[in-house]
Chains A and B, each alone.
Chain A
Amino acid sequence: MKTKANYKLTLICALAIATSGLMMAQDTPQLSDPEIASVAVVANQIDIDYGKVALERSKNKEVIDFANRMIEDHKAVINQAVALVTKLGVTPMDNAVSQSLLTQSKETLKKLNSVSKKDFDKTYIDNEVAYHEAVISAVKDVLIVQAKNAELKDLLEAVLPALEAHLGHAKMAQSKISK
């Protein structure tokens, strides 16, 4: 629960910082499309990194299958995002949200690498549930709403069902691990 709260707080703070200056101007978007593209790539890469740690540390088939799926699916999203920005001639732009996500992920990676083997599976899956819940909120309530380019919006909308499927899958794994 603490992790979930941390993610939500981080995302809210990051979005507030990123948009505070822009909020002053009327009708000005809070995040530009290049910034949204950056957030999308960073958020996907973070979950790939978590998955790689799980492959190194877990012996649980449920966890390993889930981690492999996260790596494959989030790679597929990054490939789509890269293909789109290349087509649009846009360069993803670093921003406070991306930076904040990276800072939080460093802490999480440290925790995933240091937690005892016995507690690893639960720590990893609990984090996956919290992370996907936070990212779903951000994609649904911020990124899709603010994306201006129709193809970028389409891509974000196509990603949302996958994130929701991942969350459902993570919760299934979580209920088995908790038993």
Chain B
Amino acid sequence: MQTLKTFGLKYVVISGILVSAFVLLMGFKNSENTHKPISHTVTIFKMKYNPEHLVVNKGDTVVWINKDFYQHDVTDFPAKKWTSKPFNKGETWSKVITEDTDYFCNLHKVMKGTIRLVK
């Protein structure tokens, strides 16, 4: 009887651990997979990127829309590894964000913005 009881208890404990591990694993897996990339908008107006500082998930897209009547661009800062090239009022440019990003307007060098990934 004692052996049977011990076996039963062991069975329950092991099953519990397995179920918990499964649930945990699924949970982790879900948290990674349920984030569908979304789109964020940065409005360029009165010589400013708005919002100036943005936090996004890896893989999200940021769309910049120019609402000034001056040309603007979006250029990697400070190394200029990539650039949107100049775009006009009413035009947009977008980029998928995979890393923390600092950028500026290479036409109006005092305009700056940052994008940080959710930790």
Contact = CB atoms under 8 A, between A and B. Distances in A.
Contact of B47 (A72, A76, A161): A161
Nearest to B111: A165
Mostly helix, strand, loop or mixed at chain B's interface?
A: loop
A131 B47 CA distance: 19
A73 B109 contact: no
Contact of B108 (A77, A79, A165): A165
B64 to A, nearest CB: 17
Given A72-B70, A80-B69, A164 B108 contact: no
B110 A76 contact: no
Interface string A146-179: 0000000000001001101110110010000000
B47 A165 contact: yes
A111 to B, nearest CB: 26
B57 interface: no
Contacts of B111: 165
Contacts of A117: none
B35 interface: no
A73 B92 CA distance: 19
Contacts of B110: 165, 168-169, 172
A44 B110 CA distance: 20
B107 A69 contact: yes
Closest 5 CB pairs of A and B: A168-B110, A161-B47, A161-B46, A165-B47, A165-B108
